[in-house]
Amino acid sequence: MPQISQLLEVYGSQFFWLLIVIGIIYFGIAKNMVPKISKTVDDRQKRITDDLAAAQSAQDKAEQIEADYRTSINDARADAISNVNEAKAKAAKKSEAAIKRADTAIGKKADEADVALKAAKTSALKEIETVAAEAAQAIVKTVSGGKVTATDAKKAVKAAF
């Protein structure tokens, strides 16, 4: 093969040109491509850092909003409990007042009923005395044939009661 025999003659020049081409490519990449790649990596790192800072800020803000929300919920709960207790106290006062009014009304009715009962008892006793006096007159007249006056009969019945 004739190419193999020429290899030693051209080997040195090919190796030289190979080193020059590789050097040009290396320096071309180092001067043009590496700064662009470095800039892209730095931009990405900056964006990631900014995004993390924004996320942390948003999380802090969300935690503050949640704390404010919990505070307002607790305040509302305390207000509701206070309102319920006030309503219970008012209802208890109204109930006590209604019970007092009812007790007073019942007491008045009981007093009125007692007075009416005493009046009815007195009236009934008078009627009983009158009937008893009349019955005593009739019994005396029927049994002994004597006559007793109404006043004497009433005195005798009163004495017996």
Q: Given this model, what pLDDT does residue 138 score?
A: 81
Taking CA atoms, 17 is separated from 8, 23, 67, 111, in Å, by: 15, 10, 72, 136
Question: What pLDDT does 3 receive?
Answer: 67
Nearest to 116 by CA among 105, 126, 104, 108: 108
Q: Residue 156's CB: how many other CB atoms inside 10 A?
A: 15
pLDDT of residue 151: 78
Please tell me the predicted confidence (pLDDT) of residue 48: 97
pLDDT tens string, the chain, 161 residues long: the values are 456 667 667 777 888 889 999 999 999 888 989 999 999 999 999 999 999 999 999 999 999 999 999 999 999 999 999 999 999 999 999 999 999 999 999 999 998 899 889 899 888 888 888 888 788 778 877 887 777 777 777 777 777 76
Other CB atoms within 10 A of residue 128 CB: 13
- Cα distance between residue 35 and residue 154, in whole Å: 143
CB 142, CB 148: distance < 8 Å: no
Give the pLDDT score at 2.
57
